[in-house]
Structure 1
Amino acid sequence: MKTKTNSGKSIKRRDFIGGVTTAAIGLTIVPRVVLGGRGYIPPSDKINVAYIGTGTQGLSEMPNLLKIPDAQIVAVCDPQKEARGYYDWSPKGLLNKLRETIGDTNWTAGGDNKIPGGRDCGQQIVERYYAKQTGRNHKCAAYSDFREMFEKEKGIDAVKIMATDHLHGVMAAAAIKRGIHITMHKPIANRLEEGFQVVEMAKKSDVITHLIPWESNGSMEQVLAWIKGGVIGKLKEVHNWSNRPVWPQYSGLPTDKPDLPEGFDWDLWLGPEAVRPYHPHYTNMVFRGWYDFGGGAMADMGHYSLWTVFEGLELVNPVFIEPNRSHVCGHRPDASAYRIENDFSFPFAGSVRFIYPKNDWRDEVELIWSDGGIRPPVPSGFYNNNKELPIEGMMFKGESGIIMSSQFTLKEPYVLSGDMKLAEELKKEVSYDRGSGIEKFIQAVKNNQQADGSFRKAWPITEAVNLYAAALRSGRSLRYNAVKREITNVPDVNKYLKREYRKGWGLEEV
């Protein structure tokens, strides 16, 4: 939408929403209550949101956006049209959630009538929810190609990106170049160089950006008070471990060629990645286990737990990355055993150690990420009391003590060992609730202010998760030059930090 001023000058809708005064453009505003009753928000005052990614996670998060009065979804986009071949955590959980959202206990997803998914489902949920709320028909456009959507839907103010990991970077770049505000799920990109370029684009742009995991991160306030106060001595190690992967991991590339589901544009799903035959083992819930399409367990879960740790401890530019990973063996036709060489999928389990250089207030720190059931050595404070480490957790290990988080993320930390008297003296009242990320993003767009979880602050976690992937993929300990964003001791690994884009899919082309 463009608004004409008395001077004839046009103001773009996205600039207009950001707070241009009515006096400056010579408009007379009729109070909303006159138009539609108390609490009514005219469509012209709402943030027009495009929604990319209507798989199970995308549909699961859609109701929270639909319920925000200041926003309206005007278009959905997904290369898969119908609900075919989707997986979820329970057979009816998502279906029941969507039925409740639209107020229809008999609604079905169509397709194979198993798990909801696809742009048809997304479009139906949007249209039926708004029709229920307003008593009027609401038209939601549907696209298979986000590039076409951005070109045709000129009134889009913001976009929520819920696509597979390998498409995040190109979609975000396309939005930034068009001045469209972005809220997106992790990671920013599943290649280091692409992530860097997108972060830099965000820094140079006025576009408001928001990475969804920020609000789940808890707070470092109490932990920093204990560390800087000397409760555990000099900080030496930070451990974070997850029970992921909770999706199938494959030790071999697919060899069969099943039929492509009806209405699924496989070429668009591949996006910037190399062409290969369709296979369901690549898509939907299982994409995250492939280096080409996903970011592995750390990209999946580390954004929720470690972003605030990177910020609080000022961890950036690691100098050394050491992987440890599981492997899979097979039998040859001659009955001999062999280890399967695998640079295409993440391991079933692994750990990666990062060494971060000292700064002006702390010494060198090691960050150890573990997944697939691997946990750090059990501290004496646990085994002396016949306790096991939880399957997911976080631990800060100093020279003379240990701080534990009560959860996987930084919530309700406690001192396991160290100067307990000092720990009590430094106890703080800390709020660990950051509120609703999507509501805060919509308000950030309306107020024309950067969101708390801006892309601009996300380079350290983006850097780490992509170095994690490169280390596991190569199986080599890596020395990293952060200025050049290069591996110096094994130059061949640098190919894993960049993407070879298909024609039409480069950041400068989308």
Structure 2
Amino acid sequence: MSDKTTNSRRTFIKNTALTSFGISIIPRHVMGQGFIPPSDKLNIAVIGAGGKGYSDGMNVWNNGASNIAAICDVDWNSAGRFIEKFPKAVKYKDFRRLFDNARDIDAVTISTPDHNHAVITLAAMKLGKDVYVQKPLTHNIYEARTLTEAARKYKIVTQMGNQGASSKGVKKMIEWFDSGIIGAVDTVHVWTNRPVWPQGIETPTDTPPMPEGLAWDTWIGPAQWVDYHPLYHPFKWRGWWNFGTGALGDMGCHLIDPPFRVLGLGYPTEVESSVGAIFKQDWVPEYLPESCPPSSRTQLKFPATAKNSKEITLTWSDGGIRPFHPDLIPADHPIGDDNSTNGVIMIGEKGIMTCGTYARNPKVYLNNGELLTYDDSPEENALPENGHHMAWVEACKEGYGKPKHQALTSSFDYAGPLTESVLMGNLAIRSYNVRNEVASNRFEYPGRKKLLWDGENMKITNFDPANQFVKREYREGWSLNM
């Protein structure tokens, strides 16, 4: 399917009765003005339909603008609300069985836990299916690079689910910056209140009963096997390196997107982290390599770009740690979101630009005291909730390489490098607690230093043990082959 074109796929759909889904082709004029005939709809498979998958599925369905043809979830109880809305959709628990019967599927949304993103997405692309994948795009850097290259190879219309990338707020920030109003930027602060799930905790050892009907082996997928525990499914998987990517993976693709996009960033050149420690006894920190830390602080450095003439230092903070108020911003003004729990600050020569989650309500504080605001909440400025999703749907209809595809704000050509930069922080966080025993209850931590990154070759050049976190070992029977 590498030569897939819009014509080959859409012509098949328009000229064939899709009997497996009970769809007949009816000319638009027969049904009247405004009716969308089945021939103009995508047949979409929703993989991961509980939690965030519910809103992703509803947003691409868009009141009947698309046809939800198949639903796949390892836990039909968790996905029950979505399944009930589309009783005619074919149900699966294993995405591999779905893909065995995917002839009439045009596109796929993938909203599973992070560790399954890459294997499902690549399998879909190899079948010629366009893909919408929740953030972060992948579980590790190698997977992000692989999917970026695969999207080009198989000519797939792609979009990552960081919906703020399509917001009018970030477009306004680009307009402001490109006008030169704050000058070149050298310092960026990004922060979040995540995690809001348990992190920095011991690996569970008890074995509670598994919920009825849960396909646990498929849920584990390519990750290393562990027995079921409610600390993993349905939500708390985010706090475990085996499955999730922690606070940075959860919110980084939302919050780092504005500076990455506005400043035209690419691969970082170096990274350094510090991590909150946990003590149960005096002087002896807990060693919890399987659990993401309760808090962390990470610094990434990026070279100057065509859009920004200065080297950029970007500092990420999570676990409730945030940057201090810049002097230029009045003391009674919130930074970032209205409650300052998440946000972005870009410090330039002539002023400071800020925004909240999803690039909401951006502001510019100029050195001369002037304040510029953009309220993206009024109807005339707000993007529809499903605007990011529907831009992808329309691009899928038009086809790979066409104008609507090229206009997507988070296709893998962009989302892949963004995700790699976000996950570079996790590489440093995990390297921070690599340790060597030197005496009884005494350890040295050789990874607690600045790590130098060769982005093109995906390699830390001054601390080889860190490179174990560039990719993962897949469980037997699973692989990621283009």
Task: Name the counterpart of 1:15.
Answer: 8
Which of 193, 199, 216 is the matching residue for 2:142? 193
Find the aligned partners of 2:164 and 2:11 in 1 and give their Cα distance. Answer: 23
1:37-52 equivalent positions in 2, closer than 5 A: 37-52=32-47
The size of the alignment, in residue pairs, is 437
Find the aligned partners of 2:284 and 2:187 in 1 and give their Cα distance. Answer: 36
Q: CA deviation at 1:125?
A: 2.0
Find the aligned partners of 1:385 and 1:157 in 2 and give their Cα distance. Answer: 52
User: Relative to structure 1, is the Cα distance of residues 40 and 479 closer, same or farther in structure 2, using a 3 angstrom cutoff?
Assistant: same
Percentage of identical aligned residues: 32
Asked if structure 2 preserves the Cα contact closer than 8 Å seen for 1:231 and 1:420, the reply is: no
Q: CA deviation at 1:343?
A: 2.1
Task: Name the counterpart of 2:294.
Answer: 348
Task: Name the counterpart of 1:136.
Answer: none
User: Relative to structure 1, is the Cα distance of residues 399 and 19 closer, same or farther in structure 2, using a 3 angstrom cutoff?
Assistant: farther
Runs of 5+ unmatched residues, structure 2: 16-24, 433-447
Moved more, 312-321 or 166-175: 312-321
Task: Name the counterpart of 2:345.
Answer: 395
Q: CA deviation at 1:12?
A: 9.4
Q: Verify: 1:73 aligned to 2:106, yes or no.
A: no
Moved more, 248-257 or 445-454: 445-454
Find the aligned partners of 2:53 and 2:26 in 1 and give their Cα distance. Answer: 37
Task: Name the counterpart of 1:457.
Answer: 414
Task: Name the counterpart of 1:327.
Answer: 277
Task: Name the counterpart of 1:368.
Answer: 315
Task: Name the counterpart of 2:103.
Answer: 154
Find the aligned partners of 2:10 and 2:334 in 1 and give their Cα distance. Answer: 53
Q: CA deviation at 1:348?
A: 1.2
Q: CA deviation at 1:276?
A: 1.7
Q: CA deviation at 1:408?
A: 3.1
Letter in 1 for 2:58: P
Find the aligned partners of 2:390 and 2:211 in 1 and give their Cα distance. Answer: 35
Letter in 1 for 2:137: I
Q: CA deviation at 1:231?
A: 4.5
Q: Verify: 1:503 aligned to 2:460, yes or no.
A: no
Task: Name the counterpart of 1:5.
Answer: none
User: Relative to structure 1, is the Cα distance of residues 312 and 386 closer, same or farther in structure 2, using a 3 angstrom cutoff?
Assistant: closer
Compute the TM-score of the two structures, normalised by the length of structure 2.
0.82
Pairwise CA RMSD = 2.9
Q: CA deviation at 1:366?
A: 0.7
Q: Verify: 1:210 aligned to 2:159, yes or no.
A: yes
Q: CA deviation at 1:255?
A: 1.1
The C-alpha deviation readout for 1:416-442, integer Å capped at 9, x for no partner, is 341446x87xx9999864541222222
Task: Name the counterpart of 1:243.
Answer: 193
Find the aligned partners of 1:20 and 1:409 in 2 and give their Cα distance. Answer: 36
1:122-271 equivalent positions in 2, closer than 5 A: 122-127=82-87, 139-216=88-165, 218=167, 219-220=169-170, 222-224=172-174, 227=177, 231-271=181-221
The C-alpha deviation readout for 1:237-272, integer Å capped at 9, x for no partner, is 111111111122242111111111111111111100
User: Relative to structure 1, is the Cα distance of residues 444 and 228 closer, same or farther in structure 2, using a 3 angstrom cutoff?
Assistant: closer
Q: CA deviation at 1:30?
A: 6.7
3-state SS of 2:189 partner: strand
Task: Name the counterpart of 1:56.
Answer: 51
Asked if structure 2 preserves the Cα contact closer than 8 Å seen for 1:232 and 1:399, the reply is: yes
Runs of 5+ unmatched residues, structure 1: 1-10, 23-28, 84-116, 128-138
Q: CA deviation at 1:42?
A: 3.6
Q: CA deviation at 1:77?
A: 0.7
1:482-493 equivalent positions in 2, closer than 5 A: 482-493=455-466
Which protein shows a greater Rg?
Answer: 1
Task: Name the counterpart of 1:90.
Answer: none
Moved more, 481-490 or 337-346: 337-346
Compute the TM-score of the two structures, normalised by the length of structure 1.
0.78
Asked if structure 2 preserves the Cα contact closer than 8 Å seen for 1:126 and 1:140, the reply is: yes
Find the aligned partners of 1:192 and 1:12 in 2 and give their Cα distance. Answer: 29
Letter in 1 for 2:294: F
Letter in 2 for 1:392: N
User: Relative to structure 1, is the Cα distance of residues 278 and 290 closer, same or farther in structure 2, using a 3 angstrom cutoff?
Assistant: same
Letter in 2 for 1:480: W
Letter in 2 for 1:368: T
Q: CA deviation at 1:190?
A: 1.0
Find the aligned partners of 1:274 and 1:391 in 2 and give their Cα distance. Answer: 34
Q: CA deviation at 1:198?
A: 0.5
3-state SS of 2:365 partner: strand
The C-alpha deviation readout for 1:195-233, integer Å capped at 9, x for no partner, is 100111012222111112144554455545655665545
3-state SS of 2:359 partner: coil
Find the aligned partners of 1:269 and 1:191 in 2 and give their Cα distance. Answer: 18
User: Relative to structure 1, is the Cα distance of residues 320 and 246 closer, same or farther in structure 2, using a 3 angstrom cutoff?
Assistant: same
1:413-432 equivalent positions in 2, closer than 5 A: 413-420=362-369
